[in-house]
Amino acid sequence: MIKAVIFDLDNTLIDFMTMKKLSCDAAISAMIGAGLNVDKEKATKELFKLYDKYGLEKKTIFQKFLKKVAKRIDYEVLASGIVAYRRVRTGFLEPYPHVVDVLFELKRRGIKLAIVSDAPRLKAWIRLVSMKINHLFDAVVTFDDTKEMKPSTMPFRFAFRKLKVKPRECLMVGDRPERDIKGAKKLGMLTCFAKYGNPKAKASEADYEINDIKELLEIIE
């Protein structure tokens, strides 16, 4: 019997990559407007190469970007990019369709809910609060809680202790087979691949696959 559902956050509850791309597009346009002399398309590719190298949560990514493309940091240009990025990011922080309805229905059924995310603690909480769903979770586990990233079992074990449930009583829902699904399976959890968040993945090896989060309600039944 499933007593708890543990969700990944980015690209499972929120369309993180679309938000990231739109925010970066706005940032680069603003930096060009402030005097950065670069081709926008090439600059975008360079920025995402840096994200690939340093991670999508790197705080100083725009500083590294300016050093890469302009060989120096112009703080007016930097500030212009950061302000534009934050403005678009804040406006786009919305959950996927049906997320809120599904979370409320799971709570109504007495299912415990948790987040296990590789994001830093503050950023994870900002996303949850911005989407106005923070109050629906019984536990929120972030990178800062264990200093381990999925597929390590540590974040999952941390969640079990907070929820007071056993692994076999939990369903893990995530978009990254190599992290979310693999890590959960190590502990004997049921797993569900959020295909809508990662449509290019070829094989998830999850117990379930869903194209819309509302399909979770059938699985729980």
Q: Please give the domain boundaries of the chain with CATH numbers for all domains.
A: 4-15+95-220 (3.40.50.1000), 17-92 (1.10.150.520)
- For the chain, give the number of residues: 221
Tell me the residue type at 82. Answer: I
Q: Which H or E run includes 35?
A: none
**Which pLDDT score is estimated for 221?**
81
**Which pLDDT score is estimated for 61?**
97
> Helix, strand or coil for residue 128?
helix
**Which pLDDT score is estimated for 91?**
81
Residues of the chain under the 70 pLDDT cut = none
**Which pLDDT score is estimated for 90?**
82
> Helix, strand or coil for residue 145?
helix
